[in-house]
Amino acid sequence: MITEKTLKQTMTNDLPKDMSRHLPDSLNSDLRSKMMRWETLLMVFVVIAFFTNIQLSPYFLDPWSLSDATFNFTEKAIIALPMALLIIARDIDLSVASTIALASVAMGFANTMGAGPIELALIGMGVGTVAGFVNGWIITKFDIPAIVVTIGTMSLYRGIAYIVLGDEVYRSYPEGFAFFGQGYVWGVLSFEFVLFLCLAVAFGILLHKTTFGRRVYAIGNNPTAALFSGINVKRHRLFLFTLVGLFAGVAAVLLTSRIGSTRPSIAMGWELEVITMVVLGGVNIMGGAGSIVGVFIAVFLMGLVTFGMGLMNVPGIVMSIFTGLLLILVIGTPIIWRRVLTARKMKSKSGN
């Protein structure tokens, strides 16, 4: 019988000593370790962004203003949660925005056929789930790199949306459907935001407190070692892609409900922002490391920064440029830093 200890030893032995990575047991650590965590640095930036927004607008601290700010990131954040697990497992899905478009068009078409609010929500989540399953099935069945497949389906799903809808727009959704994207659960707390908070807790438990989460880390650290340790790697990868598709469908329901219409260009470019949230949260783009806590904080940081840019009337294209530069910076800096440290170690060894 293979235990977690055996799995950890197998993975460590399979890698060279200088490349082996620690497989985290939990989020618990001493005070000094917590202060040195990436999440702590993110919290500092969140505080800076928060007080900067206060200076930019005297109305920022108004409860309704803060509530409106959450709509800038909630749908993307919901996709970022399963995307974090997928990237930790050494995979990626670039088709999530196109999946949203496809699911939204499917809901719009069903609406013309007389579907009710609940049926529309189920259709949106169902289409997203099928799209994610198709991605995972192709990747695991034919061993094609995830980035290649999802770039293909990114064009495929968006293309289907344009073929079905063309230049038309689906409108006139049922009145009850608006609750998903515009409704409030209690006071200023929107349904979207409460849903995100609940999902963040659920994904945190799934990744950090369950055997499944340990297996995701194991696959991300070394898929071969994980396979020989008895983990069904392909089944786990297929499940993760399907999970991402499901929550892209959930995001499609929320977004379509919030704006009250469907266009084939809906959610254009969201895949970049979702991946930026995940990587900014400390998830290693190469897999094997990361936490839901980090992603949770990064979501709020990006939301505050985006809202602050809106207060300054920064054009959307400038926000896109900022997101792209942030993604490059967050991914590139740790890689360059590790190379510098490695070069210093090699130089010191050669000097001795």
Angle between helices 211-221 and 74-88 (to 10 degrees): 60
User: Angle at CA 15, nearest 5°, toward 9 and 16?
Assistant: 120
The whole-number average pLDDT for the span 117-125 is 96
DSSP 287: S
Q: Is it the case that residue 41 has pLDDT exceeding 60? A: yes
Residue 189 backbone dihedrals phi, psi, to 5 degrees: -85, 115
State both tokens at 288: 């094997």
Cα-based torsion angle of the residue sequence 97, 297, 250, 60 in order, rounded to the nearest 10 degrees: -90
Q: Is it the case that residue 157 has pLDDT exceeding 90? A: yes
Which of 131-145, 230-244, 302-316 comes out lowest in average pLDDT? 302-316
pLDDT of residue 6: 52
The whole-number average pLDDT for the span 203-208 is 96
Element (H, E) at 186: strand 184-186
pLDDT of residue 82: 97
> Cα 248 vs. chain centroid, distance in angstroms?
10
pLDDT of residue 65: 85
Q: Is it the case that residue 153 has pLDDT exceeding 90? A: yes
Q: Is it the case that residue 22 has pLDDT exceeding 90? A: no
The model's pLDDT over 286-329, given as tens digits with 9 standing for 90+, comes to: 999 999 999 999 999 888 888 888 878 888 788 788 878 877 87
* Burial (CB count <10 Å: 0-12, 13-18, 19+), residue 216: buried
The whole-number average pLDDT for the span 160-185 is 92
Q: Is it the case that residue 336 has pLDDT exceeding 70? A: yes
Q: Which residue did the predictor score with more confidence, 346 or 224?
A: 224
DSSP 187: T
pLDDT of residue 351: 67
Q: Is it the case that residue 150 has pLDDT exceeding 50? A: yes
Whole-angstrom Cα distance, residue 210 to residue 226?
16
Q: Is it the case that residue 257 has pLDDT exceeding 50? A: yes
> Cα 63 vs. chain centroid, distance in angstroms?
26
- Three-state SS string over 200-269 comes to HHHHHHHHHCCHHHHHHHHHHHCHHHHHHCCCCHHHHHHHHHHHHHHHHHHHHHHHHHHHCCECCCCCCC
Whole-angstrom Cα distance, residue 239 to residue 85?
11
Q: Is it the case that residue 26 has pLDDT exceeding 60? A: no
pTM of the model: 0.85
Whole-angstrom Cα distance, residue 127 to residue 104?
9
Would you say 255 and 266 are in contact if contact means Cβ atoms under 8 Å apart? yes
Element (H, E) at 117: helix 117-142
The whole-number average pLDDT for the span 326-346 is 79
CA atoms within 13 A on the CB side of 340: 6
DSSP 178: G
Whole-angstrom Cα distance, residue 80 to residue 183?
22
Q: Which domains does the chain have, with CATH numbers?
A: 39-46+63-332 (1.10.3470)
The whole-number average pLDDT for the span 229-234 is 94
pLDDT of residue 19: 41
How many helices (H) and strands (E) would you count in the chain?
16, 2
Q: What mean pLDDT value characterizes the chain? A: 87
Confidence band, pLDDT 50/70/90 cuts, at residue 36 = low
Confidence band, pLDDT 50/70/90 cuts, at residue 108 = very high
Would you say 134 and 146 are in contact if contact means Cβ atoms under 8 Å apart? no
Whole-angstrom Cα distance, residue 193 to residue 77?
10
Residue closest to 146 by CA, chosen among 240, 267, 79, 224: 240
pLDDT of residue 18: 41
Q: Which residue did the predictor score with more confidence, 23 or 238?
A: 238
Confidence band, pLDDT 50/70/90 cuts, at residue 27 = very low
pLDDT of residue 99: 97
Residue closest to 81 by CA, chosen among 224, 319, 251, 328: 251
Q: Which residue did the predictor score with more confidence, 2 or 222?
A: 222
Percent of the chain whose predicted confidence (pLDDT) is above 70: 89
Q: Is it the case that residue 29 has pLDDT exceeding 50? A: no
pLDDT of residue 33: 54
Which of 129-133, 198-202, 265-269 comes out lowest in average pLDDT? 265-269
